Structure 1
Amino acid sequence: MTSTSLITASDGVRLAVHRYTDIDPQRPTVLAVHGWPDNHHIWDGVAAELGGRYNFVAYDVRGAGESSCPATRSGYRLGQLVADLGAVIDSLEVGQVHLLAHDWGSVQGWAAVTDESVAGKIASFTSLSGPHLQGAGRFLRSARGPRSLVDVAKQIAGSSYIAFFLTPAAPELAFRSGIGVKVVEAVERIGGSGTRAQRVSPPRAIGDFVNGLNLYRENLPAPLFSPGPQLPRTDVSVQVLAPRRDYFISPPLQRLQGAISLRSRVVSIEGGHWVVTARPDAVARLTAEWIEAVIRGEVETSVEYGESRQAGGRLTLINRLLARLALLLK
């Protein structure tokens, strides 16, 4: 059973912080951040798996769940979201946290681990289905041949919904009418038909859908069109869990994100965009494996693995794709 507290962000927004466990200072703390159109409940299954070993905390991003909304749309800008994350970490009084994030939560996570004011509070980062926005922009310019051109084209197709979200009024009408909600519930099942997958849809309110549109409107599309000359960098150890059947954030894009950290790994796993709820056991297992590797100091270099070839922290190296991509994009 969770306990909930409210903290006040720098602009007065009230953030609902949910502790799935008591905070034991002797145990590592996992802080989970959800994406759109979810709230903290997307982590219920993962929390059930990890709560016996770690302090587990999740919070409702501004405008979602039990958190309040900012007074203006500009309150959804990425800089403010990173400040929120830092404020939540400070409120836990545990020093550093192991960050676990999905979708727009991962977008915030990438921004946080590449922000000097917050990165020192993060011991490790596990990202699912959410890129660094500048990294996404770089990926869209990465085509150097037929194969990579196809990868970029697939990602553009998977991101085509963003144009609709950026239009005024129409998305709100779609979600308030219930049609948009049904569409999300349908696409949520993509990639979740495996024998190990669960059919669990977390509870959502209309506000989670509608308020979250401001994440897109305040932060896109500028970084996609003008991403800067090179990928950002972080010293935080990063794990990218890349669902093989994620239609919205393609595996090639997710693999590129690993190049942002020199100490990272990319694990290709079975599932779709909402693998968090479809396979919480797998997400929890890989997250715990990464946390323990970081605690033991066994994270050394950037590598890529397949989920089927796990063997603790000593998995066989498949290839050096991340390093080659990083060099290609310089």
Structure 2
Amino acid sequence: MLSHHIHLNGQPFHYLGWGDRAAPVILMLHGFPEYSGAWSEIAEDLGRDYHCVAPDQRGYGQSWTPEEVSAYRTGKLVGDMVALIEHLGGGPVIVFGHDWGAAVAYGLAIARPDLVSRLIIANGVHPGPFQRALAAGGAQTAASQYIHYLRAEGSEARLEEDDFSKLFKMFGASMDMSWMTPERRAAYLEEWRRPGRMRGMVNWYRASPMQLGGPGETIADLPEMPAEALRVRMPHLLIWGARDGALLPEATEGLEDYCDDLTRITIETADHWILHQESHRVAAEVRAWLQRR
């Protein structure tokens, strides 16, 4: 593994790299509240055959962390990754996203299909099915109520209290956290303690256009999200940890309507933190799928 400090669109960014730089690139996009190091187990495995690149996305780790909410709109997050792909030599590349990283991965696949050869998502959601589930007033609406907490003014300060105890509690809510060793916990704390990082991280939620009501509340007047405008045209693999308590299966219902070529794989033993709990299984599934493609 090598650590790289570069500038993208004039701003400082950091990424980790594994494997032969001449090999096909897998761009690995982390979610909340993680950072580039979250990919280490899978990247070490896949790095035998691919050049795995895991950036600290805007607002995270050692990358640029603007203060204003508007700096975290999806188009700007996608623009960072377009610049990174260009820095790596241009596309197309394989894109692999988890959680919020999936939102950027889908954004790349939809807006710049010329840069994405294949799309892989692990426990992440496409904006079309996810917005429908959030607006339905059912189980996904209830499971996503934490978003209101994160969007609220001052949430970053509350998460920082008592050495991030509330954030660790949120991280592990109804999830198996046996993978969180003392060494990994210390690594997360090091990243979260960087100035301004917690505000940058929650600004992703504040900048999102996704609409969410209260428990049981339905939202009828949603903006149009036509399948053709949000289409995933390249081969797409969705790996799903069935025990996820934050993103439920209904958040991916109807995904086929948005995809030309979708493969689903469910791992019954994993939850939202599937990348850590089943890293070897995930890497094996990814490798096998890519070899067929």
How far residue 112 of structure 1 moved from its aligned partner, in angstroms, is 1.4
Residue 170 in structure 1 maps to residue 155 in structure 2: yes
Partner residue in 2 for 1:125: 119
Larger RCO (alpha carbons 8 Å, 6+ apart): 2
CA contact (8 A) 2:20 2:47 kept: no
The whole-number CA distance in structure 1 between the counterparts of 2:285 and 2:206 is 33
Letter in 1 for 2:7: I
- Contact residue 106 and residue 127 of structure 1 kept, 8 A: yes
2:132 counterpart (130, 135, 138): 138
2:69 corresponds in structure 1 to 73
Whole-angstrom CA distance in 2 between matches of 1:28 and 1:87:
17
Gaps of 5+ in 2: 214-218
**3-state SS of paired residue (2:157):** helix
Give the Cα separation in 1 of the matches to 2:67 and 2:146.
Answer: 26
Separation in 2, partners of 1:274, 1:125: 19
Percent identity of paired positions between Structure 1 and Structure 2: 23
SS at match of 1:114: helix
- 1:272 and 2:271 aligned: yes
Instruction: Note the alpha carbon deviations across 1:104-155, whole angstroms, 9 max, x for none.
Output: 000111111111xx221111011112212233112346x7xxxxxxxx6221
* Deviations 1:20-76, CA, capped at 9 Å, x for gaps: 22311xx32111000111100000000111111111111110111110112532111
RMSD over equivalenced CA pairs, Å: 2.3
Structure-2 separation of matches of 1:173 and 1:33: 26
**Alignment match, 2:80:** 84
Post-superposition CA distance 1:177-221 (Å, at most 9, x none):
32312313432x71567xxxx455563232554321000001143
Q: 2:232 aligns with which of 234, 238, 260?
A: 234
Paired with 1:292 and 1:94, the residues of 2 have a C-alpha distance of 22
CA gap 1:99/1:258 in 2 versus in 1, 3 angstroms: farther
Q: Distance in 2 between matches of 1:111 and 1:95?
A: 15
Secondary structure in 1 aligned to 2:138? helix
Partner of 2:258: 260
Where 1:180 maps in the other structure, the secondary structure is helix
Secondary structure of 1:62 counterpart: coil
Kindly provide the amino acid, as one letter, of the partner of residue 175 in structure 1. E
Following the alignment from structure 2 to structure 1, what is the Cα–Cα distance between the partners of residues 242 and 103? Answer: 19
Is 1:184 paired with 2:184? Answer: no
Match of 1:307 in 2: none
- What is the match of residue 205 of structure 2? 216
Q: TM-score, normalised by structure 1?
A: 0.76
Deviation string, structure 1 residues 252-283 (Cα, Å, up to 9, x no partner): 32353343211011111130101111111111
Which residue is equivalent to 1:283? 282
Q: Name the stretch that deviates more: 129-138 or 251-260.
A: 251-260
**Conserved 8 A contact 1:242-1:255:** no
Listed as ranges, the gaps of 5+ residues in structure 1 are 144-151, 295-330
Alignment correspondent of 1:321: none
Question: Are residues 263 and 253 of structure 1, via their aligned partners in 2, closer, same or farther at CA, if it must alter by over 3 Å?
Answer: same
2:49 maps to 1:63:
no
Deviation at 1:14, TM superposition (A): 1.7
Aligned counterpart, 1:32: 28
Residue 229 of structure 1, CA deviation: 4.6
